[in-house]
Structure 1
């Protein structure tokens, strides 16, 4: 006999408070994804570097984050999410202070590594909290708010940091970023009682009554009746033997690579391909991110109404890839660039809560809730790898003037992501059919 790992009913207001606090912290982590990129126009003359060197800083950030994220999942499962989130946010504060006082390129590298170390904890900690502290019926909207907050963090960083840098200098902008991280740390500290959970899979407030025989959790919330019939994978690294987990990893890597190119290098690409002014190109990227936030909100409703999350992902990312490919030709007039970027952002946004439920449903029924941290940590390290590798690979191409290559790679990355997501969905449907006929 087994009992599914579903949280007992909780007051909607408590769920909302958990979702809001976790979302705010996640938004600040995304704000720090762009700690450096909006300041590139000021850092280049200040340190005598080009796109290749700045691209390496972005790669360094995400390399540290990717390596740390896979390990952070185990730390979250062992010690709980709250202390890990506090440590990560403190690392953001240090990163911004190092940037503000930097006198050399190596100091910029240290700032990038500290920010990456801070970032690595958020996805395993956030998703462990949401999965264990929020009622399963509200998880679609919880994931939507989580992604929405991330998009708003991305959208807030360029205008705030570039605006402050334009008025008071890039060092002052870095100090402002430190202040943002301090606010997040304080919010987590004072809200820690709302978020605290017990580690090692022991029942906390949201986990009581969820263990099977011997006290071992046996299934995950969000699993279908078919997938709940499967045995739970055991062992710390059992998830690495599941093909669907690797496909989710590949999806995150390819989709993030496409997204990260627009996020980091979209503004200079638009300036050179379409002749936009710097202010217009910066606004275009901000619009892209804001449209992504709107799409994420809408995507939460889509995700909550389907068990086949790979299908909406495929539709919206193929639309996005087609628009990016059209932009790569350079044929659209300059006035069409902003609405096309907004459409790309909205499409990518719809995919975000669906991708989070795709991962959850790929894991549901296979792993105990005490393994969520390591599963999410591994899968989401693909996001960091994708965000980190492409700036390093394409920084030199941009220095050589090949700006359209950025848009081509965006289209290719999104197309590859569709293939990975579709295979995850097909595998899940085939498995459910086998169990139903057994």
Structure 2
């Protein structure tokens, strides 16, 4: 594999940033829409968001197969254009039925990003820089989350909600234009690679790989558990801190902000670690165990100091960030060459499944007046995740 030009990594990071912007557009604009439209309420918008996530979860694994067959860059461009057009259309069509249809289309497009992005990086980045490439990819998604509230609310305040939807679509189409010139080159390369693989298969009589293997399933579970532990802190820690620790809304949000910022820093550090060490399972295991211990301290201790809580949650964020590149390297290690899209598509579905289960579980804990259960849950899920990561390490499965 040749070392890719920086432009390739930059393009992938830009598309990942756009994908995270699109994931937050509707939730961020929800309050403004409720004030300006009479045909919707919280439940209706919540249902539209659920449609987005459910469609993405259902189609992500099949999309991964298309990524391997058709070429990741082409599929990525198509997904980016379709998703961008769906959000753009919401700026012109103000009917609730269309909101549901558009979010279903956007969910389909969202399923493209992880399989395509990871396949492109796995096939083009040299081994010794793979961890840093994965970390920059993840970091770009965090940046997308960070800028979306300011971008969408600023546009909607100066213009209106429709213009905010239009802007979210237009920036995605601009990103697609950046990718298109390289797509034809990649298609030619992918056809050559396919012919080479076919010849190898005919010569060596390699058997067709199964869709799901025990290793792929274990990584699917790992992603699901990471989604549950991360979602408990990102989405419910503020409510838990207010109800269970007597901390104000402002101070609880400061703690959550610390978690998000340190996670971004941790991802970059984790990329360096993933490149300097081949023991990706041990890195993930160690970080997960320490993070679980911190969550247990918060869950069991009568802490009321905002500073202490913020420091502890900030440490959890940093360690959670460190895990991400090693997590991705573990998946890459079990992905046969040429099947990266399929494998990443399957395991990434765990994020969507966890994102569906988590809110129900954590909402129930808060409704039952168990706010500390949020941190207990995080600790339990992290320990389970650590066990899977350690198993992958001792099993020592490598790329074929």
Name the TM-score, length of structure 2 as normaliser: 0.84
Look up the match of 2:42.
Answer: 49
Cα distance, 1:203–1:191 mapped onto 2, change above 3 Å: closer
Shift of 1:247: 0.8
What is the SS of the residue equivalent to 1:370? coil
Report whether the alignment pairs 1:116 with 2:107.
Answer: yes
1:246-300 per-residue CA deviation (whole Å, 9 max, x = no partner) reads 111110111022223444445555555554346x655654443332221111111
Separation of aligned partners in 2, 1:162 and 1:275: 27
Report whether the alignment pairs 1:33 with 2:4.
Answer: no
What is the SS of the residue equivalent to 2:42? coil
Report whether the alignment pairs 1:311 with 2:282.
Answer: yes
Report whether the alignment pairs 1:412 with 2:380.
Answer: yes
Separation of aligned partners in 1, 2:133 and 2:126: 9
Report whether the alignment pairs 1:249 with 2:239.
Answer: no
Look up the match of 2:123.
Answer: 132
Shift of 1:401: 6.4
Of 119-128 and 60-69, deviating more is 60-69
Look up the match of 1:342.
Answer: 314
Report whether the alignment pairs 1:182 with 2:178.
Answer: no
Separation of aligned partners in 2, 1:393 and 1:320: 21
Separation of aligned partners in 1, 2:54 and 2:293: 29
Separation of aligned partners in 2, 1:393 and 1:97: 34
Report whether the alignment pairs 1:76 with 2:67.
Answer: yes
Contact 2:89 2:166 in 1 (8 A): no
Contact 2:284 2:326 in 1 (8 A): yes
Cα distance, 1:100–1:334 mapped onto 2, change above 3 Å: farther
Contact 2:285 2:390 in 1 (8 A): yes
What is the SS of the residue equivalent to 1:331? coil
Separation of aligned partners in 1, 2:305 and 2:180: 50
Cα distance, 1:277–1:41 mapped onto 2, change above 3 Å: farther
Report whether the alignment pairs 1:87 with 2:59.
Answer: no
Cα distance, 1:310–1:65 mapped onto 2, change above 3 Å: same
Shift of 1:347: 1.0
Return 5+ residue gaps in structure 2 as ranges.
Answer: none
Name the TM-score, length of structure 1 as normaliser: 0.77
Look up the match of 2:14.
Answer: 24
Of 385-394 and 63-72, deviating more is 385-394
Match of 2:344 among 372, 376, 384: 376
What is the SS of the residue equivalent to 2:207? coil
Report whether the alignment pairs 1:150 with 2:141.
Answer: yes
Cα distance, 1:277–1:180 mapped onto 2, change above 3 Å: farther
Cα distance, 1:303–1:113 mapped onto 2, change above 3 Å: same
Report whether the alignment pairs 1:299 with 2:284.
Answer: no
Look up the match of 1:290.
Answer: 261
What is the SS of the residue equivalent to 2:193? coil
Matched pairs, number: 394
Cα distance, 1:414–1:267 mapped onto 2, change above 3 Å: same
Cα distance, 1:302–1:96 mapped onto 2, change above 3 Å: same
Separation of aligned partners in 2, 1:234 and 1:299: 36
Separation of aligned partners in 2, 1:41 and 1:401: 27
1:361-394 per-residue CA deviation (whole Å, 9 max, x = no partner) reads 123xxx3x22222122112211222223322444
Match of 1:422 among 368, 376, 390: 390
Of 386-395 and 291-300, deviating more is 386-395
Shift of 1:106: 5.1
Cα distance, 1:167–1:133 mapped onto 2, change above 3 Å: same
Separation of aligned partners in 2, 1:59 and 1:80: 29
